[in-house]
Structure 1
Amino acid sequence: MKRESTAILLRIFIGESDKYKGKSLYMHIVEMLKAEGIAGATVFRGITGFGKNSYIHTTSILRLSMDMPILIEVVDTEENLARIRPKLDDVMCQGLITEEKVKIVFYDCNIQK
Structure 2
Amino acid sequence: MTRLHGSALRLTIFVGEGDTFRHRPLYGEIIHRAHQAGLAGASAFRGIEGYGASSLIHTNRLLSLSEDLPVAIVIVDDAARVRAFLPQLDDLVTEGLVILDECEVIRYVGRHGEKRAK
- TM-score normalised by structure 2 residue count: 0.85
Structure with the bigger RCO (C-alpha within 8 Å, sep 6+) is: 1
- State the distance in 2 between where 1:97 and 1:4 align: 23
Unpaired runs of 5+ residues, structure 2, are: 112-118
Match of 2:17 in 1: 16
Which residue identity does 1:10 align to in structure 2?
A: L
**Residues 107 and 11 (structure 1), Cα distance of their counterparts in 2 relative to 1, 3 Å cut:** closer
Report the alpha carbon displacement of residue 95 of structure 1 after superposing the two structures with TM. 0.6
- Following the alignment from structure 1 to structure 2, what is the Cα–Cα distance between the partners of residues 46 and 62? 17
Give the structure with the larger strand fraction: 1
Matched letter for residue 8 of structure 1: L
Question: Which shows bigger deviation, 90-99 or 3-12?
Answer: 3-12
- Secondary structure, aligned partner of 1:86: helix
| Deviation for aligned residue 1:64 | 3.3
Q: 1:109 to 1:11 in 2, by over 3 A?
A: closer
Q: How many residues matched?
A: 108
- Number of the residue aligned with 1:85: 86
Q: Distance in 2 between matches of 1:45 and 1:6?
A: 27
Letter in 1 for 2:34: L
Partner Cα distance (2:40, 2:13) in 1: 16
Distance 1:44 1:38, change over 3 A: same
Aligned counterparts of 2:51 and 2:66: Cα–Cα separation in 1: 11
More off after superposition, 37-46 vs 81-90 = 81-90
Task: Name which one, 1 or 2, has greater alpha-carbon Rg.
Answer: 1
- Deviation digits for residues 16-63 of structure 1, max 9, x if unmatched? 000101110000000010011000011100000011111110010111
- SS in structure 1 of the partner of residue 63 of structure 2: helix
Structure 1 residue identity aligned to 2:90: D
**Same amino acid, percent of matched pairs:** 36
Structure-2 change in CA distance of 1:61 and 1:7 (3 Å):
same
Structure 1 runs of 4+ with >6 Å offset: none
